[in-house]
Structure formats: structure tokens, C-alpha cells
Structure 1
Amino acid sequence: MKIFGAIYPSAEQAFQHVKAMRSADLNKAESISNAETALDAKRIGNQVLVSDAWLDSRDEVMREILESKIKQCEEFRDGLGKIKKTNILAEATWDTYWGTGLNNVGTIHTVMQRWTCQNKLGRMLDNLARQIKFEATERNPSQQHIYVRKVNIQ
């Protein structure tokens, strides 16, 4: 995917590279660029000593990466557009910020308000999925539904 003036094989690699660059760790940034897999990029990125400025901007960076992936990857965009659940989750027992903090069973069988972590990635994907569905109905008015509610006035 192309974003921020570069081409990356995955969204994870793009995110980790930007994190390293904005944290002034050029050696890790180069290692991330040369990583063979997204998981390798994540592992290298986990070694970056991040700045407060990065912590303040990481949500916006992730949002830009996801929006770019939606524009460039039809399969990803279509997959998000077909999701019927009202909330998307990012299952990750090891990631307290981007994931739910629970394993698959724990996530499914625990009320969302009791998840131990923030699920930021899941929330972003949920918002983007809703946006895709909204844009689809705007382009195709036949998919719009009108709901009428009877109200008694006395």
C-alpha cells in the first residue's frame, strides 16, 4: 500500500515505520522497512522508545493508514462493508491499547464494557465500516430504508 510517500507491504509495516521515524529511531525504521513480514515489523517496532509526540499522534496515523488501505484494497473495503455486527473488536491479549486485552473466548463472552483494554483498532474499524455502509447507501438510494414510527398525540 502507498501512504506517506512510500510503499509498504502491509498496514502494520507502515504504522511501525512511521512510529520509528517520528521517534527518531532511524536504525529501527530501516529494519522495519526491510522486515520480511508484518509480524517482524511489529516486533522491531515494539523495541522503539516512543516519544510523547508519537503517543499523541498514533491514533491519527492509524486512521490515515486504515483509510488509505480502504481506498487501495478492494477486498478490505468490501469486507468492512459487509460486517453485520454493531461492534468490531481487535482481539489481542497482549495489546492493551489497540486490542480488547482478552483472548477470543474472553472477548466473545465478556460484555464490551468489561473488556480490560481500549480496543482502539476495533473502534476505528467499526467507525470506518459504518462510513462505508453510509457511503454505499448514498450512492445507491434503493438501499436506503425509511422507518416510520406511529406516535399518539393527545
Structure 2
Amino acid sequence: MSEVIKFYSVVDEFGEFSNFAAFPVKLKKKVWPTSEHYFQAMKFESESDQNEILKAKTPIEAARKGRDRKRKLKRNWESMKDNVMREALLAKFSQHEDLRILLLSTNDAKLVEHTENDSYWGDGGDGKGQNMLGKILMEVREKLRS
């Protein structure tokens, strides 16, 4: 593994890799404004909670609603969240040709969501985080290659 590509903000280089980037995804018979909207909505059992997140005006609002613990989380959310992210990212990078080309253009670079705000999906800012978003993006890149 040679190069490392760090991404976080949608306005930075490779900002398209962020779940907040404005690329709609078609999943479960609906069009979600961003992969963040889809991911956050899938946390919940209730279709009305899911629809409320679908209608969120921004990915930040979708994330905020997704973190609201007054809503009933799916019982097995922790064990399924990586697969939901996989599904969202595969849809995003398959449904948008320009994104597919961008992701494939990273060749074998290590992709890292660089942020102090998250040590599960990101690198925790110090490189000690799990970087699951980066890892799943690299898996999606492999899938799109074949």
C-alpha cells in the first residue's frame, strides 16, 4: 500500500467520499438525497422515523435525527451497521459513473476518513481510529474493479 488519501469535508479533495456529499442513492424503492440519509434512516424500525430522515433538508439534519435516541433503534443495529454502510456506498459508487471513476482512480491508495470526531468510521484524528468508512470504500473499490 503506497499512497494514503485522507478525506473528510465535502469541499476538500475527495470530498465526494463523504457520506454528506450530495449524490442521491436509490435503495429500497426510494431515492435518498445522500448516503448519510439512507444510513441514518436504516437505524430505525419505524417507517415513519425512516421517512422523517428521508425528508431531512441536509445530511447534517439527517445525522442529527439519526442520533436521536427517542426513536427506537433496530435491535441488531450494532451488528448490521457495517453492512448497511456497505450497501449505501456500493449504491452510491455504482449509480454515479463519475464517482465510480474517481474511486477507481485512487488505485491501491489507502483511503482514510480523517477526523477527530469519529474513531469508528474515521481515524480519530490521530490515526488510531478504526477507519471503517475508509475500509468499506476500499472494499467497494475492489468490487467495482471486478
TM-score range, shorter chain: 0.7 to 0.9
Give yes or no for the alignment of 1:86 onto 2:98.
no
Give yes or no for the alignment of 1:14 onto 2:26.
no
- Following superposition, the deviation at residue 72 of structure 1 comes to 0.8
- Matching residue within 66, 83, 100 for 1:45: 66
More helix per residue: 1
3-state SS in 1 of match to 2:114: coil
Contact 2:43 2:77 in 1 (8 A): yes
What is the aligned-residue identity percentage? 28
Pair 1:31–1:67, CA change in 2 (3 A) = same
Give yes or no for the alignment of 1:125 onto 2:137.
yes
* TM-score normalised by structure 2 residue count: 0.72
| Distance (Å, rounded) in 2 between the aligned partners of 1:37 and 1:89 | 23
- Following superposition, the deviation at residue 51 of structure 1 comes to 4.6
* TM-score normalised by structure 1 residue count: 0.69
| Distance (Å, rounded) in 1 between the aligned partners of 2:61 and 2:108 | 31
Structure 2 residues without counterparts, runs of 5 or longer: 1-24
RMSD (CA atoms): 1.9
| Distance (Å, rounded) in 1 between the aligned partners of 2:62 and 2:52 | 8
Cα deviation code 1:2-55 (max 9, x no counterpart):
10221111110011111123xx4x554333122101111011111236455011
Cα deviation code 1:32-91 (max 9, x no counterpart):
122101111011111236455011111111111111112211121111010145210112
Structure with the bigger RCO (C-alpha within 8 Å, sep 6+) is 2
Give yes or no for the alignment of 1:75 onto 2:87.
no
Question: Which amino acid is the alignment partner of residue 30 of structure 2?
Answer: A
Contact 2:41 2:50 in 1 (8 A): yes
More strand per residue: 2
3-state SS in 2 of match to 1:19: coil
Greater C-alpha radius of gyration: 1
